[in-house]
């Protein structure tokens, strides 16, 4: 028992030191893990209500936040990794402030957002009871190769899950995981059949079923999204029960399908304890996660930060946000966390930006982005690689208009940090802590 105690104390000390220096969120987890390789298994040993892993290419952070809110509204003590640091060390770092010196977490349920590859590392240490697998898409190809490889990672995670998996019915790669050896019973979420024509807003063609007859049959616990209008929707289950009408603070079909995934998993996890009214209350209160459709008041005008990281995600963002008349900035970096290869930008149609054009492109790939827009006949007013200078230009030249910034991960982090300093916003992860 001495090793977990030493690892916990050292991790807490590392966390205090990094917070003083403004350092990264994963270092305390690294310290604890190095001192005790079984740190995670020991910490989660007393979590009896379920260990849920949320994984997939797009929507992990939003879905995790929604599922956590729903379970908390049902009265459960839920641990989650709120900063979106979705590696195992990030999970440990998020856990350290809540751990007593014994190193054993006091929680009913753990809901963990994990990167596709690192979810398997987590499963080496701790067996998930439930896995919520959202989708596959081309994402940072220099890290995880093509869609087939990502799907195999998710299938391996499912096979190492002990009780149940919830899968995206409309994603051919994900839904077929149910037929893999050793995968526990599967429940599905997806679009209602009346909305099949909307799939192109959520998925690339190469992950959709060629023939709708190949779709899995709808089971009693499967949750299907039916949009009522631009802002409202309901989730109808195969047993004909419903949750809704639901309204989210985050707009768009992508947010609705993430909520559908969260509701379906919550119902599977809670069983007869699932409460429709509590679910509706919880989802109404969930603010957009840090930098993902987050709206910031900048001098009386809204500025919306929209994270983009792959063709499917950027396409969804443009469907959701791109047609509204705002001053637009696109900030593209190619750091490791963004993905080095930005050729994926040529798989995105920017036609929705043609009428208004783009006020400024920025980031390491500012000129590449302007060239990409040129090929889609989108005019770019200004090119400024320096992110903060570009932000200042956007604010100065469009002071009386709503503004939107589409940005890759490291660009979003840099911009959000500056905006937090200027407009007294919560720091990275702090908004989640305040809600817990």
Give the model's pLDDT for residue 52: 98
247 vs 436, residue with greater confidence: 247
Give the model's pLDDT for residue 436: 36
Residues 6+ apart with CB under 8 A from 431: 82, 287, 290
The answer to whether the beta carbons of residues 78 and 108 sit under 8 Å apart is yes
Give the model's pLDDT for residue 146: 72
| pLDDT tens-digit map of 365-383 | 999 999 999 999 999 999 9
Mapped onto helix, strand or coil, the DSSP state of residue 172 is helix
Residues 6+ apart with CB under 8 A from 187: 164, 165, 166, 167, 219, 221, 222, 223, 264, 268
Q: How confident is the model at residue 431 (pLDDT cuts 50, 70, 90)?
A: very low
CA–CA–CA angle 344, 345, 348 (5° rounding): 100
Top mean pLDDT of 140-149, 258-267, 419-428 is at 258-267
Q: How confident is the model at residue 234 (pLDDT cuts 50, 70, 90)?
A: very high
Residue 289 exposure: Cα atoms within 13 Å on the Cβ side:
24
What does pTM read for this prediction? 0.84
| pLDDT tens-digit map of 62-100 | 999 999 999 999 999 999 987 656 678 888 888 898 889
Beta-strand runs (E) in 213-253: 223-227, 232-237, 242-247
Q: Which domains does the chain have, with CATH numbers?
A: 46-285 (3.40.1190.10), 292-435 (3.90.190.20)
| pLDDT tens-digit map of 309-333 | 888 788 888 887 766 789 999 999 9
Which of 239, 341, 355, 377 is flagged as catalytic?
A: 341
| pLDDT tens-digit map of 143-197 | 445 788 889 999 999 999 999 999 999 999 999 999 898 999 999 999 998 998 8
Integer CA distances (angstroms), 320 to 56, 315, 398, 406, in order = 20, 9, 22, 12
Contacts 24+ apart (CB under 8 A), 413-416: 413/291, 414/387, 414/388, 415/305, 415/331, 415/387, 415/388, 415/391, 416/290, 416/291, 416/294, 416/305
As a whole number of angstroms, the distance between CA 190 and CA 100 comes to 40
- Tokens for 14, please give them: 């590392």
Is residue 192 annotated as a catalytic residue, yes or no?
Answer: no
Closest CA to 202 of 312, 289, 293, 292: 312
């Amino acid at each position: 028992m001495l090793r977990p105690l030493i690892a916990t104390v050292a991790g807490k000390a590392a966390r205090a030191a990094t917070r003083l220096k403004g350092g990264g969120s994963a270092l305390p987890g690294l310290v604890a893990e190095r001192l005790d390789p079984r740190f995670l298994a020991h910490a989660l040993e007393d979590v009896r209500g379920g260990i849920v892993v949320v994984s997939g290419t797009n929507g992990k952070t939003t879905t995790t936040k929604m599922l956590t809110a729903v379970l908390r509204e049902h009265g459960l003590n839920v641990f989650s990794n709120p900063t979106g640091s979705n590696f195992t060390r990030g999970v440990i770092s998020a856990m350290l402030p809540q751990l007593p010196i014994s190193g054993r977490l006091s929680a009913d349920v753990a809901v963990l957002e994990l990167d596709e590859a690192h979810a398997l590392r987590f499963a080496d240490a701790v067996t998930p009871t439930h896995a919520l697998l959202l989708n596959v898409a081309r994402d940072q190809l220099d890290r995880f190769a093509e869609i087939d490889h990502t799907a195999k990672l998710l299938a391996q995670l499912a096979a190492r899950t002990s009780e149940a998996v919830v899968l995206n019915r409309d994603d051919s790669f994900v839904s077929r995981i149910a037929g893999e050896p050793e995968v526990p019973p599967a429940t599905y979420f997806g679009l209602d059949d009346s909305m099949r024509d909307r799939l192109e807003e959520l998925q690339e063609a190469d992950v959709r079923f060629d023939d709708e007859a190949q779709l899995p049959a709808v089971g009693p616990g499967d949750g299907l999204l039916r949009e009522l209008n631009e802002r409202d929707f309901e989730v109808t289950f195969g047993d004909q029960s419903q949750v809704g009408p639901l309204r989210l603070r985050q707009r768009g079909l992508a947010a609705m399908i993430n909520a559908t995934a969260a509701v379906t998993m919550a119902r599977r996890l809670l069983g007869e304890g699932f409460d429709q009214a509590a679910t509706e209350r919880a989802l109404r209160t969930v603010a957009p996660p840090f930098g993902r459709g987050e709206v910031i008041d900048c001098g009386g005008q809204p500025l919306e930060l929209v994270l983009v990281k792959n063709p499917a995600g950027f396409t969804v963002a443009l469907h959701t946000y791109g047609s509204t008349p705002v001053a637009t900035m696109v900030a593209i970096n190619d750091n490791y966390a963004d993905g080095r290869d930005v050729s994926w930008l040529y798989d995105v149609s920017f036609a929705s930006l043609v009428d208004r054009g783009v006020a400024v492109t920025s980031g390491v790939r500012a000129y590449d982005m302007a060239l990409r827009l040129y090929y889609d006949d989108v005019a770019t007013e200004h090119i400024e690689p320096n992110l903060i200078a570009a932000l200042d230009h956007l604010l100065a030249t469009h002071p009386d208009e709503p503004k939107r910034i589409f940005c890759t991960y490291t660009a979003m982090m840099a911009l959000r940090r500056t905006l937090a300093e200027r407009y007294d916003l919560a720091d990275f992860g702090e908004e989640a802590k305040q809600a817990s």
